[in-house]
Amino acid sequence: MYATIERKSCPMFDEKCVDRVINMIAFHSNEDKETIRKNIEEKCGRFIRGKHIGQLRGWAHWSVVVRGGWLKDGPGYMNGHVVRPGTIFNIEISDFNGKRYL
């Protein structure tokens, strides 16, 4: 059975989203959460007008395995590996137009 991967996203002006992204990054790296928060704030910036003044800009996107199974890495026989449910592949923060912040 093949693995099922979903791409999820949330706005960075939502504090729950920011905390979730920081926790995901901290789980996969050896930096502390405060350093990650400062790095995200430095890269993304904050809104200066509109209804979200003072909150972080951008959207967070991540890919997560929702059903575990075989994931092909490329063409050919036995070219792949097994992934478990809940595995996160990439985390990306970008603006509305797709420009990457982090």
The C-alpha atoms of residue 101 and residue 87 are separated, in whole angstroms, by: 23
Residues 6+ apart with CB under 8 A from 12: 18, 21, 40, 44, 55, 56, 57, 58, 59, 60, 93
Domain edges within the chain: 4-94
Q: What pLDDT, on the 0 to 100 scale, is given for residue 83?
A: 95
How much is the pTM? 0.83
Average pLDDT over residues 58-75: 93
Token code pair at residue 80: 């792949």
Q: What is the pLDDT of residues 9-60, one digit of tens each?
A: 999 999 999 999 999 999 888 889 999 999 998 888 889 999 999 999 999 9
CA distance linking residue 58 with residue 67, whole number of Å:
28
SS3 content of the chain, % helix, strand, coil (to 5): 25, 35, 40
